[in-house]
Chains A and B, each alone.
Chain A
Amino acid sequence: MQQRRVIDQVHTNRVLLNGQLATPKWWLPTVTLLGLFVVVGWVLIGFMLNKGLGVTGLNRPVFWGVMIVTFVFWVGISHAGIMISAILRLTQAEWRRPVTRTAELLTVCSLLTALLFPAMQDGRVWRDYWMMPMDWARGVWPNPRSPLIWDPFAIGTYLTGATLFLYVALLPDLGNLRDRTKGVMHVFYSVLALGWRGNPRQWKLQTVGGILLSALMLPIFVSVHSVVSWDFAVTPGVEGWHSTIFAPYFVIGAVHSGVSAVVTVMALMRWLWKWDDFIRPEHFDALARLLIVVATGWLGFTFLELIFAVYSQEGQEVALREMQIFTWPWNAWFIVFLLTGYFIPVGMWLFKSVRNNIALMFWTSILVNVGMWLERYFIVVGGLSRKTPLVNSWATYRPSAYEWAIMAWSFAWVSFLLLLFARFFPLVPLFEQKESQTFSAEIKIGRARVPAVLREQE
């Protein structure tokens, strides 16, 4: 499994900074195309804000449709960063090193995207400041008991922490870039590097800061998706939502989805920037092993969610599950959800040959996220679609082209942000690579040389 290579620091600098010190040929056309999509998306969003939510076709009883599903989806993806960066850093997993930056970046970009969806869904985005306790004169305060108020605070805290986390880990690389650039870019990196010189004190502070932030971010990481889940779970009025399992179920689903997204992005990075020496099959292998465990845990939670929904044997709850599992077209989507969310990818990841095949890992990780998007659709739309005593509409909800377009925009927007970042900052942390070379060792046992790592004793 371990495919260690001795890579000198010059080679590391040259290869990992190839996106910043030179512009790859494909970068500009790709970013321009994505930028076009992004602009079109913003125009659509602006039009919707001007004309009202009616343009999306949202109507009773399903007032929360694709936009809220996509919001939950992107919050889920944002769990990749902390899962990989913080937990694996605290557990000293060596294989995390090339993955951390991408994971942290994905967290920030997906949170920036996720935040926009509830704002759009509000309809009157210019009144969103009402969520903040700033209306001193009139004494209008947000209601802290409302889960819809918890969301912006949870996500805002997570975004602040994740950005700080990304920035602290970026400092040594910023110093590196400052020393290799001239002119405006030199000034740009000098300002951002905060005087980084790489002296022992700075390294110590950076390491301690990283560990402290890892430990501090973990409760935030868990709380964010829990808070999102409570938007639904504390609402007894909608069938299928009032479940105690939602918080951990959402969190483990988010980790499943987020880590899969990291696999997708890593495969793209390897292909686009040709970082074969740094992003190796062993990293995909380790991520796939992690995903098998996470996905199986997630499947267990799915099972519990379903079984305790029908456990009550109350008519409406049972009818909702019957609709989701046995009624067309929900049943077809349910099968697709299970196959793509678990059975196909995990079935394939059980084989080492698949785990080490980057193309297969890429496609299976995309399958997972198709399944996870569907899962959120089942949760959000499923409960609302059912006729309840106070709902007079029998119409079935079908997402409109407008909603699909805004969802597609979100993917273009995240990709655009990622590529923009990649133009100015290295996606694989250089200092982590160098540290891993320093910490790699060997132990001789008999005639065998076993790969080893150096661990400072606590």
Chain B
Amino acid sequence: MASHAGSKPQNVDPAHKAESHGAHHKPAAERPLPEQVMPDLVKTTAAGSKFKVAALVLAGLSVLGVIGVVGRLFGGTGAADQKEWGYVAATLGFMLTVFGGAPMVSVAPSMAKANWIRPVTRISALFSLAGVATALVLLALVVALPPLVTEGARRRSIWFDAPVYSPHFWSIVGLVGLVVTGIGLWYANSLPDFAAMRDHSNGWRQRWGKKLARGFVGTQGQWRSLRLRIGMLGTLYFLVLIFVHFLISTDFAMSMVAGWRDAIFPMYHSLGSLQAGIASTIIAMWAARKWGGLDKYLGHDQFWALGKLLFAFSLLWFYFFISGFIVFWYGRTDSDIMVLDLLIRGPYKYAFAAAFLLCFFLPWWTLIWNRVRASVTGPAVVAAIIIVGHLFDKIRIYGSAWSTDPARIHERFLTVIPQTHYPDVFDIFVIVGAPALGILLMLLASRMVPVVSIWDMKQFLMLSKPVKYMKGHALIVAKPD
């Protein structure tokens, strides 16, 4: 994430370090000194050579993504042939899932006053910026989305008798709303750090810090209003996120298939987003440790806690999947059989198998072990597996939905299951390039404020105190009202 220009921060609380010797348990995690937090983290915003290489690579991939979208729009059959757009739709679903869910990782634990989440809040909020790339993919895709009324007949949708371009309009409004709320959340979270950049850096960072800090000097009233703002934006973000998943999953997948009625599908989509959000945050944390020198700031506690959450959400993914599946399996009505034929045992069965394996089975059998969850690499590897799993999941969902024959969209249920549609070069460009653009935006933002929030980190240290407890280590964690 943030490539680190200088050396790794080496300052560790000596009292705590001394305590860790001689204990029969593993040594307690090393913590940075409070006074070192500011210089250490401000230093991480400087662009080193690794950052430049990463940015260049991502920029190159982003250009490929743009070429892919332009090629899709103007090459071949353009917007006329909906099955050509299946992979673009899958990319949209994938990006919404992975980038959209990440900011939620810090919202819920923060509201529950979990102290361990503080070093993670900025990294998770940073994913909001990647939402800009998701919105750009959506803008291209709505061109190919059929209106509600085609050939004089209205297809089934959540819009019932609404104007024919309702899905197009409201999906854009919803996703842009999500991106704006997310950026608002990131900005609110970064406000005190912009002030820190104003006061402790120089050059363009100082100038931008001055502009963006908006006179933040840390009065009691400013802190109160900041906490309120973060709480409100976090709640709003969650509500908008669920709403956008509801819109995208129904308008861009379910209502494209005649006879597919699946009430749990929007929640399955949303839950997948929360799972993928945790996974992407863990990967970002791992990268920040590896290349940003933030080992002391993003410690085992954070990986351990997020590993547990990832495990729980992997089980929930299975639960939501099986809740829908069992009803189709036992129902055995014509439309139930069609849904199974299309989405599970049909043209995208290998994508489904991969999704099932990577989103549930492997995470379950790896994260169940304490050793895996309690490590740094373990959760990161599993997180990467889950992200790939979600790509396959979206391919089997959106690929299937967009492959169906639009002429049959008004039938009671789908009678002809389409063939597998394989990606062409433009599809691959979009699949690789669009997420790369999102990551590039995050990388660029990490130059403005550190990826670990300075103020959250200071509060983290202030509100928790390591102590010896019998023969082991314990932490006193304050719970302010």
Q: Are A451 and B479 in contact (CB under 8 A)?
A: yes
The answer to whether A205 has its CB under 8 Å from any CB of chain B is no
Q: Are A305 and B476 in contact (CB under 8 A)?
A: no
The answer to whether A5 has its CB under 8 Å from any CB of chain B is no
Q: Are A456 and B469 in contact (CB under 8 A)?
A: yes
Q: Are A226 and B475 in contact (CB under 8 A)?
A: no
A342 to chain B, nearest CB (A): 15
Q: Are B478 and A443 in contact (CB under 8 A)?
A: yes
The answer to whether A1 has its CB under 8 Å from any CB of chain B is yes
Residues of B within 8 A of A244 (CB): 262-265, 323-324, 327-328
The distance in angstroms between the C-alpha atoms of A1 and B481, with both chains bound, is 6
Q: Are B478 and A445 in contact (CB under 8 A)?
A: yes
The answer to whether A40 has its CB under 8 Å from any CB of chain B is no
Chain B residues engaging chain A, CB cutoff 8 angstroms: 28-29, 112, 156-158, 160, 242, 246, 261-267, 301, 304, 315, 319-320, 323-324, 326-328, 330-333, 336, 374, 462-467, 469, 472-481
Please pick, from B242, B324, B474, the residue contacting A300 in the complex, using a CB distance under 8 A: B242
How many residues belonging to A are interface residues under a CB distance threshold of 8 Å? 44
Q: Are B261 and A248 in contact (CB under 8 A)?
A: no
Q: Are B304 and A458 in contact (CB under 8 A)?
A: yes
Q: Which residue among A441, A453, A457 has the maximum number of chain B CB atoms within 10 Å of its CB?
A: A457
Q: Are B323 and A226 in contact (CB under 8 A)?
A: yes
Residues of A within 8 A of B473 (CB): 456-457
The answer to whether A55 has its CB under 8 Å from any CB of chain B is no
A247 to chain B, nearest CB (A): 4
Q: Are B469 and A443 in contact (CB under 8 A)?
A: no
Residues of A within 8 A of B112 (CB): 91, 93
Residues of B within 8 A of A230 (CB): 326-327, 330
Q: Are B474 and A242 in contact (CB under 8 A)?
A: no
Residues of A within 8 A of B264 (CB): 244-245, 247-248, 304
Residues of A within 8 A of B261 (CB): 308, 311-312
Q: Besides the contacts A311-B261, A454-B477, what 11 more A-B pairs have beta carbons closer than 8 Å?
A: A2-B481, A242-B327, A243-B263, A304-B267, A308-B261, A310-B160, A441-B476, A445-B462, A452-B465, A457-B474, A457-B475
Q: Are B319 and A458 in contact (CB under 8 A)?
A: no
A222 to chain B, nearest CB (A): 6
B30 to chain A, nearest CB (A): 13
Q: Are A453 and B267 in contact (CB under 8 A)?
A: no
The B interface is mostly helix, strand or loop, or mixed, namely: mixed
The distance in angstroms between the C-alpha atoms of A100 and B323, with both chains bound, is 29
Q: Are B262 and A455 in contact (CB under 8 A)?
A: no
Q: Which residue among A310, A450, A455 has the maximum number of chain B CB atoms within 10 Å of its CB?
A: A455
The distance in angstroms between the C-alpha atoms of A452 and B476, with both chains bound, is 6
The answer to whether A307 has its CB under 8 Å from any CB of chain B is yes
Q: Which residue among B315, B332, B475 has the maximum number of chain A CB atoms within 10 Å of its CB?
A: B475
The distance in angstroms between the C-alpha atoms of A454 and B267, with both chains bound, is 37
The answer to whether A219 has its CB under 8 Å from any CB of chain B is yes
The answer to whether A233 has its CB under 8 Å from any CB of chain B is yes
Q: Are A233 and B327 in contact (CB under 8 A)?
A: yes
The distance in angstroms between the C-alpha atoms of A320 and B323, with both chains bound, is 23
Q: Are B480 and A236 in contact (CB under 8 A)?
A: no
The answer to whether A313 has its CB under 8 Å from any CB of chain B is yes
The distance in angstroms between the C-alpha atoms of A445 and B474, with both chains bound, is 19
The answer to whether A333 has its CB under 8 Å from any CB of chain B is no
Q: Are A307 and B158 in contact (CB under 8 A)?
A: yes
The answer to whether A379 has its CB under 8 Å from any CB of chain B is no
The distance in angstroms between the C-alpha atoms of A230 and B326, with both chains bound, is 8
Please pick, from A305, A307, A445, A453, the residue contacting B477 in the complex, using a CB distance under 8 A: A453
Q: Which 8 A-B pairs have the closest CB atoms?
A: A308-B263, A234-B330, A245-B263, A247-B323, A244-B324, A452-B478, A450-B478, A244-B264
Residues of A within 8 A of B324 (CB): 244
Residues of A within 8 A of B462 (CB): 443, 445
A348-367 CB contact bits vs B (8 Å, 1 = yes)?
00000000000000000000
A95 to chain B, nearest CB (A): 10
A125-165 CB contact bits vs B (8 Å, 1 = yes)?
00000000000000000000001000000000000000000
Residues of A within 8 A of B320 (CB): 248
Q: Are B265 and A456 in contact (CB under 8 A)?
A: no
Known A243-B327, A445-B462: A451·B478 in contact at CB below 8 Å: yes
A428-444 CB contact bits vs B (8 Å, 1 = yes)?
00000000000001110
Complex: chain B residue closest to A90, CB-CB: B308
Q: CB within 8 Å of B: which of A329-379?
A: none
Complex: chain A residue closest to B370, CB-CB: A458
Please pick, from B315, B332, B467, B479, the residue contacting A453 in the complex, using a CB distance under 8 A: B479
B180 to chain A, nearest CB (A): 22
The answer to whether A167 has its CB under 8 Å from any CB of chain B is no
A63-101 CB contact bits vs B (8 Å, 1 = yes)?
000000000000000000000000000010110000000
Q: Are B479 and A305 in contact (CB under 8 A)?
A: no
Complex: chain B residue closest to A226, CB-CB: B323
The answer to whether A246 has its CB under 8 Å from any CB of chain B is yes
Q: Are A305 and B480 in contact (CB under 8 A)?
A: no
Residues of B within 8 A of A1 (CB): 481
The distance in angstroms between the C-alpha atoms of A219 and B304, with both chains bound, is 21
Q: Are B262 and A308 in contact (CB under 8 A)?
A: yes
Q: Are A234 and B331 in contact (CB under 8 A)?
A: yes
The answer to whether A301 has its CB under 8 Å from any CB of chain B is yes
The distance in angstroms between the C-alpha atoms of A456 and B474, with both chains bound, is 4
The distance in angstroms between the C-alpha atoms of A222 and B312, with both chains bound, is 12
The distance in angstroms between the C-alpha atoms of A226 and B266, with both chains bound, is 18
The distance in angstroms between the C-alpha atoms of A245 and B262, with both chains bound, is 8
Residues of B within 8 A of A308 (CB): 261-263
Q: Are B474 and A443 in contact (CB under 8 A)?
A: no
Q: Are B156 and A311 in contact (CB under 8 A)?
A: yes
Q: Are B478 and A313 in contact (CB under 8 A)?
A: no
Complex: chain A residue closest to B330, CB-CB: A234
A369 to chain B, nearest CB (A): 24
The distance in angstroms between the C-alpha atoms of A308 and B249, with both chains bound, is 13
Residues of A within 8 A of B481 (CB): 1-2
B260 to chain A, nearest CB (A): 10
Q: Are B319 and A248 in contact (CB under 8 A)?
A: yes
Residues of A within 8 A of B474 (CB): 454-457
Complex: chain A residue closest to B467, CB-CB: A454
The distance in angstroms between the C-alpha atoms of A361 and B330, with both chains bound, is 42
A68 to chain B, nearest CB (A): 19
The distance in angstroms between the C-alpha atoms of A222 and B317, with both chains bound, is 13
Residues of A within 8 A of B479 (CB): 2, 94, 450-453
B454 to chain A, nearest CB (A): 17
Q: Are A248 and B472 in contact (CB under 8 A)?
A: no
Residues of B within 8 A of A453 (CB): 476-477, 479
Q: CB within 8 Å of B: which of A215-229?
A: 219, 222, 226
The distance in angstroms between the C-alpha atoms of A301 and B29, with both chains bound, is 42
Q: Are B475 and A248 in contact (CB under 8 A)?
A: no
Q: Are B478 and A234 in contact (CB under 8 A)?
A: no
Q: Are A313 and B156 in contact (CB under 8 A)?
A: yes
Please pick, from A243, A304, A450, the residue contacting B463 in the complex, using a CB distance under 8 A: A450
The distance in angstroms between the C-alpha atoms of A94 and B472, with both chains bound, is 21
Complex: chain A residue closest to B480, CB-CB: A450
Known A242-B327, A452-B478: A236·B332 in contact at CB below 8 Å: yes
Task: List, sorted by A's number, 17 A–B pairs whose CB atoms are closer than 8 Å.
Answer: A234-B331, A236-B331, A236-B333, A236-B336, A248-B323, A304-B246, A310-B160, A311-B156, A442-B478, A451-B479, A452-B479, A454-B469, A455-B475, A456-B473, A456-B474, A457-B29, A457-B473
Known A244-B327, A450-B480, A454-B476: A312·B156 in contact at CB below 8 Å: yes
The distance in angstroms between the C-alpha atoms of A226 and B262, with both chains bound, is 16
Residues of B within 8 A of A94 (CB): 479
